[in-house]
Structure 1
Amino acid sequence: MTTLVIAFVLITLLVLFAGRVPFRPAPIAQPGTPASVYIERDTQLLSTYGYTLEGTVHIPIDRAMELIVERGLPVRADATPTP
């Protein structure tokens, strides 16, 4: 009988104090650069000719695809077909 009373008291206390537990606030959005700025920058980079900081050249994607169609992809000299 005493175990039932203790269990009842513990459950009652848990229910009472459950509402008093501090609630974690929702995360607040931090101000930053909107995605449209990055999209515009990348679109500009992918559609123009230019140089990179590493000294390589970049060309528009459409032109790169045309060059692959014209020249084909490189093939190794010792290439063997895989089964």
Structure 2
Amino acid sequence: MKKVTRKKNQDRGSSKEEKKNNVKKNKRKRNRRTEKEKDEEVKAKNQDLKVLIWMIDCQTSWFIAFQIIPKLVDTQAIVGGQWSNF
């Protein structure tokens, strides 16, 4: 069988620089990814908060409506059966 040998780079200095540059590029990419992930998490949390606030707002408006409406409606009319068709 024939032995397989690796070819050695004659200029080792340039390969070291390339490795450093690649490491720097990879770090930048990782940092960008983590920043994007953090931004997405913040956006998702903000969206969840908006939905939660909207739900609370709807619930409070219904709660307020059910407190105010009976005061506005004549209770005698409800007791008398005029509201039976509703």
Same-fold status (TM-score > 0.5): no
Looking at secondary structure, tell me which structure has more helix per residue.
Answer: 2
Between Structure 1 and Structure 2, whose CA radius of gyration is higher? 2
Looking at secondary structure, tell me which structure has more strand per residue.
Answer: 1
TM range (shorter): under 0.3
Q: Which has the higher contact order (CA 8 A, sep 6+)?
A: 1
